[in-house]
Amino acid sequence: MENLLLMMAPLFSSKLLLVLLFGTLFGLVLGVLPGLGPTTGGALILPFTMTLDPLSAIILLTSIYCAGTYGGAITAVLINTPGTPAAAATCLDGYPLAQKGEAGRALGMATVSSTVGGIFSVIVLVFFAPILANLAYEFGQPEYFALAIFGLTMLASIGDGSPIKNLIAGAFGILISTVGKDFMTSIDRFTYGINELSIGIGFIPVVVGLFAISEMLTQSTLLDQVFKRVALKAVKLPTKDDYKKTWKTILRSSGIGSFIGVLPAEGGTVASLIGYSEAKRFSKNPEEFGKGSVEGIAGAEAANNAATGGAMVPTLALGIPGSATTAVILTGLIIHGVRPGPDLFKEQPEFLYGIFGAMLVANILFFIFGFFGAKIFARITLVPNKILWPMIFAVSVCGTYSLSQSIIDVWIMLFFGVLGFFMRRYGFSVVPVIIGLILGELVEGTLRQSIVIFDGNWLMFLTRPIALTFFILSLIALAFPLIRSKKNKKII
């Protein structure tokens, strides 16, 4: 009961409500614009959150996350281009249905299923995050090391793209985290006499570079792309018949999305693809999929929004990000001096339940904005790239500079922008780099401290049951792509 009241806190504070409204609207705008999205948007706004108190800052980031994930569906339905990668599966049926003159029905189904999926996942978050946090009390340094390794191998196995390339990208992310003074001995590593590098490479320049600047370079190669827009009169609520057809799909996809979200990997994108394929598998009319099936839209959209709450579970309970956007949220927590983990649940329940409540309200808000304002948000896609991206560049540069007031950070951002472009061009996902960068200190720190505890005996890792379980799960995660590749021949 007390926790329920804490969850209501954002509703009774005008400041938090304002932050929520702004975050939801901003998230929708980001979600609608192809190439942007909650991860890039979150990274862009992160420096600005320094002017806010920690709760407002994290509420802002989480509301952007929830609304941005839904916003991708608007573009997916109307211009057949997913606003976010998580909305890719929505295109498959959303656009064909819109072409039949039923754009309003398609968006109505996307809005309702996203809201149900999002609310379902917040309930999962409220119940499971404290349980997982309690379990984390059993974790010592070796267990955290094994967990971080499990997180990275999961990313390789079910993340987007090739597993081996994902592992290389993850290892590269960890390598970036080793730049600067070694935290145990204060010895300089990879600094090459540059003083600014002795404090390490900041998270913001890397994230803004890898997401925003590399996307700007990608957009420079797509200038001849022409979007065909489908006209939208108004968003329509699903009919009784549509509800009858889709309620099981929505619930199933909500469960799938929440589960996939909890796993440390690329939450929404993977969740929506699995949600969509499961919707097709269980459907009485699988032949309608790809031709404008409302079940297809419901399956994909409920799953990708359900992944938002799911991905927050390991982020808050263990400090292990469940997706790229939660990696940005985790950074937000860290730069505001909040250390996620079991102690947070004990010491600052009002902070956590405030976030849970805000996510719940954000899901309701994007339903209202989506239902009444989708037509306006769809018009945002009319802003030409030749105007939009120079503006995003200006904000990226100032935002990156503002955090440490260092011009070196801006150059690092540009370097990672170019690097990110070529990584994506040759099939290396940039998400593992971010997760590796975040987990890097945890991986190295826990490994080295474990070796001290075990007096240099590496085999002692195998005597700890929880650590051993995570290592076995990591091996299974690594073997999974090999098994899968036998089916679809995709290892490289």
Partner 1 sequence: MNNVRDKKRANKSLPFFFRTEFKVFFIIVLVSSILLISTFSFDTVPPILNRGIQPATFPKGLLVLIIALTSIIYYLSFKKPWKKEKNLPRPFFLTILSFIIFIIISKTLDFFLAISVLSIFVSYNWGERRIFHLLLVSIIFPLAVFIFFEMILGLRFPPGIITNLYYY
User: Running DSSP on this structure, what letter comes out for residue 244?
Assistant: H
R_g over Cα of the chain: 22
As to burial, measured by CB atoms within 10 angstroms (0-12 exposed, 13-18 middle, 19+ buried), residue 422 is exposed
SS3 labels along 134-152: HHHHHCCHHHHHHHHHHHH
Return the residues of window 441-460 that contact partner 1 according to CB under 8 A.
444, 447-449, 451-452, 456
| Residue 251 vs 414, nearer CB to partner 1 | 414
CB of 239 to partner 1, least distance (A): 39
Site for partner 1 in 424-443 (CB under 8 A): 425-427
- Inter-CA distances, 430 with 144, 272, 298, 311, Å: 24, 20, 28, 18
Of the pair 1, 187, the CB lying nearest partner 1 is at: 187
Among 18, 194, 234, 492, interactor with partner 1 by CB under 8 A: 492
Question: Given candidates 127, 194, 199, 220, which one binds partner 1 under the rule CB under 8 A?
Answer: 220
For the bound state, the minimum distance from the C-beta of residue 462 to partner 1, rounded and expressed in Å, comes to 18
**Angle (CA) 71 210 433, round 5°:** 105
φ and ψ of 323, to 5 deg: -160, 175
> What residues between 33 and 92 interact with partner 1 by CB under 8 A?
48, 51
CA 113 vs CA 243, 294, 333, 384: distances in Å? 10, 10, 29, 30
- The structure tokens listed for 46 are 């992160």
Query: Is there binding between residue 386 and partner 1 (CB under 8 A)?
Result: yes
CB 213 within 8 A of CB 393: yes
The structure tokens listed for 390 are: 């120079």
Min dist CB 189 to partner 1, Å, is 6
Does position 479 bind partner 1 by CB under 8 A? no
Binding to partner 1 by residue 414, rule CB under 8 A?
yes
Q: Of the two residues 189 and 336, which places its CB atom closer to partner 1 in the complex?
A: 189
Q: Within 169-208, which residues bind partner 1 (CB under 8 A)?
A: 171-172, 174-175, 178, 182, 184-185, 187-190, 192
Which residues partner with 189 through β-bridges? Answer: 180
Q: What single DSSP character describes residue 187?
A: -
Residues forming contacts to partner 1 in the complex (CB under 8 A) are: 48, 51, 162, 164-165, 167-168, 171-172, 174-175, 178, 182, 184-185, 187-190, 192, 216-217, 220-221, 223, 384-387, 389-391, 393-395, 397-398, 401-402, 405, 407, 410-411, 414, 417-418, 425-427, 444, 447-449, 451-452, 456, 489, 491-492
